[in-house]
Amino acid sequence: MRVLVTGGSGRLGRSVVETLAARGHSVTSVDVAPGPEAAGIEQRVADLLDNDAREAVFAEARPEGVVHLAGIAVPFGRPDTEILDINTRLVWAVLSSAIAHKARSAVAASSPTVFGYNTEGWAPRYLPLDEEHPVAPWHSYGLSKAIIEETVRTLVRGGSGGCVLSCVRPGYVIAPEEWAGAPTQLGHTLLERLAQPELAAGSLFNYIDARDAAELFALVVERPDQVGNGQILHAIAEDPLATEPLAELLPRFHPGTAGLAGGLTQGRAAFSSGAAERALGWRPTRQWRTELHGWDA
């Protein structure tokens, strides 16, 4: 099938376009900067907030599936008003174009930051966190992702013209080169993140290999009949990025989890991705203990 990936040059986007091409799809990657050349991937440079440029991309690509990753990718990466403006306008524009051009499926990247963790006094209703847990973002990035999810629901309510719209919440994305020592999105290495648990505590020790997340995005666009219109799916590893159990770590860094984290023993994560397994049979297959170079248990 023909698949258009926005933000295809980014940390997650590179794995998404490569995975889709490897699965036999005709892939168009569009970003404000070109990505690496690869067989089966057409590269386009365009600002998707420009109506004429976006229309030209969609008209040429004629996508049957759309994976929307473009936008500000990390909290505090730009001024708050820019994050809100760019991320929320982009999702409306891209998904509306997907509907207008008769795509069968379109999935947008959200984030587990919608839960609002890493604040003083944060207390979840239950653990592990699943897609049904209420959201309560506290920074502009998390708010922009919550708005992305509400945008999907709004477009579904307005009639999506046969295009199944959904969201995936990838965890802390680890690109393949980061297992070998390249800096992660926050500038430190994974070995440092393990040695200093305070570095990973702000994300509740979640992570996902970019290739595992890419496989879920591929399944979502390939099998719209198995995804509910407006559905949200987690793409988060089943184990935490930590050497100690979360039953001990979470209450240390997030006192509001005391009494709830006790069941997170024996490598259990603070998040559940069970909805993706039930809908599409997806489970992450790459764990930090087997992927990370230089780790000595």
The full set of domain ranges for the chain reads: 2-291
Structure confidence at residue 92 (pLDDT): 98
Distance, CA of 252 to chain centre: 27
Classified by CATH at the fold level, domain 2-291 comes out as Rossmann fold (3.40.50)
Structure confidence at residue 279 (pLDDT): 97
The residue among 88, 91, 93, 94 whose CA lies nearest residue 144 is 88
| 241 phi/psi in degrees, rounded to 5 | -85, 75
To 5 degrees, how large is the angle CA 177–CA 179–CA 180?
A: 70
Q: CA-to-CA distance for 291 and 24, rounded, in angstroms?
A: 26
- Name the helix (H) or strand (E) containing 31: strand 26-31
Sign of CA dihedral 217, 223, 226, 227: positive
Q: 172-210 pLDDT, tens per residue?
A: 999 999 999 999 999 999 999 999 999 999 999 999 999
Structure confidence at residue 297 (pLDDT): 60
Q: What separation in angstroms does the CA of 14 have from each of 106, 145, 181, 233?
A: 18, 21, 18, 20
Structure confidence at residue 252 (pLDDT): 96
SS3 186: coil
Residue ranges for the chain with pLDDT beneath 70: 297
Model-level pTM greater than 0.85? yes
SS3 70: coil
To 5 degrees, how large is the angle CA 284–CA 5–CA 221?
A: 55
Which pair of structure tokens corresponds to residue 142? 């998390």
Contacts of 248 (CB under 8 A, 6+ apart): none
* Long-range contact pairs involving 253-257 (C-beta distance under 8 Å, separation at least 24): 253/197, 253/198, 253/201, 254/117, 254/118, 254/122, 254/201, 254/204, 256/121, 256/122, 256/123, 256/124, 257/123, 257/124, 257/127
Q: What separation in angstroms does the CA of 111 have from each of 54, 161, 167?
A: 24, 26, 9
Which pair of structure tokens corresponds to residue 19? 């995975």
What spatial distance separates the first Cα and last Cα of the chain, rounded to whole Å?
A: 43
